[in-house]
Structure 1
Amino acid sequence: MKKLINIFALCFIALSFIACQEDDEFTFIASPEQTADFTFTNSLAENYSLSPLVANNPAERFVWNEANFDVQTPISYQLESSTTENGTFSEVPGIGSISVTNQAVTIGNMITLANEAGLDNDPDTEAPNTGTLYFRVRAYVGSDAANVVEQFSDVVGLNIELIENTVEEVDLSTTWGVVGDATIYGWDAPDVPMWKTDLSGVDDQKYVAYTTLTDGEIKFRENEDWGNNYGGSDGNLVAGGDNIAVTAGTYKINIDLNELTYSMEEYSWGIVGDATPNGWDGPDVQLYYNGENNTWMAENVTLTDGEIKFRLNNDWGTNFGGSEGNLANGGDNIAVTAGTYTIIVDFENGTYTIE
C-alpha cells in the first residue's frame, strides 16, 4: 500500500450507494456563537475508493445549515478544498456558488482533486494512491463572490484511495445519448450515454442505455446537439419527432437507427443478501453499467459479515451466485466479511470481483 499523504478536501453524494454516519460540527468563524451540524445525507465510509470507471457517479453530498449574519440578506455558499488541513483553500473546480445548503461531488470531481494533489492510481509510478482531502464551506452575503462579508465552516477531512483500473477496456461508447426532463441531467447536456450493443462493432446502428428515469419525456440525439435527434411514439422513431413520454423507473432502452425503432423495459442489476443494508428481501443495492468495459459496478458498498448474490430486477427469476470470482447462474451464496467494497460484475465473461 502506498504511503498516505494529505491532499485536497472533498465533498459529495451519491444518488446511489452509501449510508449516514456521524455528524461533524460546523462552526462559522465570523459568528463563533453560531454553530450547526454538518450532516451527511449518506453514511460516510472510513475511506472512499475511487475508480475512473464510474467517474460520473455521485460520491457524497455535504449538507449544512444556513449561515447567520444577523441580518435578512441573500446568502451564497462555495465548497472549498485544500491539500492540507491548515493550508490555503480554494473553490472546488466545476462547482461554483450556490444558494442552497447542500452540494454533491462526483467521483470524477474527487479524482481530479486527488490528481492535482499528486495522487495516482498507476502502480508503476512512485506517486501514492491514498490520501486525505480537506473541505470547508464559505458563506458570503449576496451573489458577488468578491464580497468580504463572509464566514467559514470548520474543516472536514475525508480519506480517499484511487483504484487501479484492472478491467480490460472494450469501449462500446457512441456519439448518441438520451436527453429529457425525465433524465438525471434534464434537457441540457450531458446526455445519458448510449452504448453499442454489438461487441464486435459490426452493427453500429443499434444502441442501448441503462438509466433511471422520472415521470417526464425523453428524446435521442447525437453529439449532445439538436442537429440530429429522434422522437416518436409506440416504439417508432421519427427524425425530429415528438418527445417520448415515460414513467418513473430503471430501464434498458434500445434504439435501432436502421429500422427506426425503440424499446424500453424495466431493467436493473443489484446486490442482495443478509450482508446488504436491506437483507434478502431488498430493494437491492444497485449496480451501474459501464460500457467502457461492459461490466456492472457499485462503489463504496458497505457490507456486514454474511452472504450476497446478484439478481435482475429485484427478483429471483434471474440470479447469480458463485465462488472464487466465478459466476454461476442460480449458484451458491457468496460469503463476504464486513467492510466497504468496490464490486465489479462481468456477466459477459462470468466473473466478479469484490475489493
Structure 2
Amino acid sequence: MSSTSCLAGAAVAAAPLPPWSPRQAHCRRLQAQDVDEHAQAIGSWDLRYDQLGAGRFQAGFFELRLPGLQVFAEHTRQAVRQRGSLGQGRLGAAFMRRGQGEGSCNGQAFGHGEVLAWHDAELDLRTPDGCQLAGVVLEPDLLPSQGLALPRLSQPLSGQAAAVRRLHRLVLDSLVLARRLSHRADVPGGAVGRAAQWADALAVAQWRDDLVDACVAAVHRAPTVGDPLRAQRRAALVERACARMLAQVEQQESISQVALCQALGTSVRNLAYAFQTVLGLSPLAWLRVVRLGEARRTLRRMAAGQEAPQSIYAVATRHGFWHLGRFAVEYRQQFGERPSDTLGRPARERIG
C-alpha cells in the first residue's frame, strides 16, 4: 500500500509498504539508573549521552518496532545531552510532552509547542530535567525515493505550522497505537494474555503511510524555530569553548573565563548566553559536570574489571579534582551516591 502527497507542486511517492503481521512487531521497555547504561540499552542510535542535571539518574524507554519504523517514548529525570546521529538516511521526529523548562537542539532553544526533526544530520540535543519525549524514526526505505529530495535537517520546527501540528498529533497517536500493540499476546515482548483489538493489518499500513506523509510534509513545509545561522554559530562557539577547556584540563592548566573569551574572540556575556542556551549551564559548571561524569565512567570501568584498579584519589586527580573531600561532596550531589558506592557496584543493564 502506498500514499502520494503533493508538496510544493511536486509529487512525492512513498515507498511501497511490505505486508504487516503482528510477528513483525517487537516492543521493549527499559529502565536504567546510569546514563551510559541507558544509552547502551537503547542500542539502535549512535548517540552519546551525558548527564547534566544533578541527582541519582533515572530513565525509562519504551519502543515498538515495525518494518522500517520505530515508535518510542523516553523519559529522563535529569537534564541530558545527546550527541551523534540516529543513523544514516533516517528521518526522526519527536516532541517534548513534559519538561522543566526549555531544551536545545543544535544551538536552538525549543519548548513544548515545537517538533524536533532530524534527517541525515548530526544531532546535539539537550533535554531539561523531568523530560518526556515521544517520537518516531523512519528507515530510508520508507522515505520517498522519487520527487523532492529530503534536506539534511536537525532543527526544531515551528509549532504554528499546520504540517507540524498534524505530525505532532500523528506521533501521539502512534504512541497510543504502539502501547496497544505491545499488549498483544502475539507481539514479541508484549504482555501475554492482554491482546488488544487493534489488529487490522490494512489499518496499520495506512497509519504508517500517513506518518511517512506527515513527516515529509513537515520537513518541506514548516519553518524552523529561530534563526538557523545564529543557532549554528552559537553551537560552534560552545563547541570551541568546550574543546579548549578540556584541553586545558588535560594539560593541567588553570582556566579563566575572561582569558577563555579573549582566546575565542567573544565577550563573557555572549559566551554565557550561548552556554545557557545550548547546555543549560555556565561554562565552568559544564566543565565540572563533564569532569565528574568522566570520573564516574572511570570508576564504573574499574568496578567492571575493564580498567586497572587505582585509588579514588588517583581517579579524582586524573580528572582535575585535587581536593578529595570536595570531589566526594560534588560527586554525591551530582549522582546521588558516593564514589565508593559506584566503585563497589558492578555495571549492569536494567531491562524490563
TM bracket, shorter-chain basis: under 0.3
1 or 2, which has the higher strand percentage? 1
TM-score relative to the length of structure 2: 0.28
1 or 2, which has the higher helix percentage? 2
Larger relative contact order (CA 8 Å, sep ≥ 6): 2
TM-score relative to the length of structure 1: 0.28
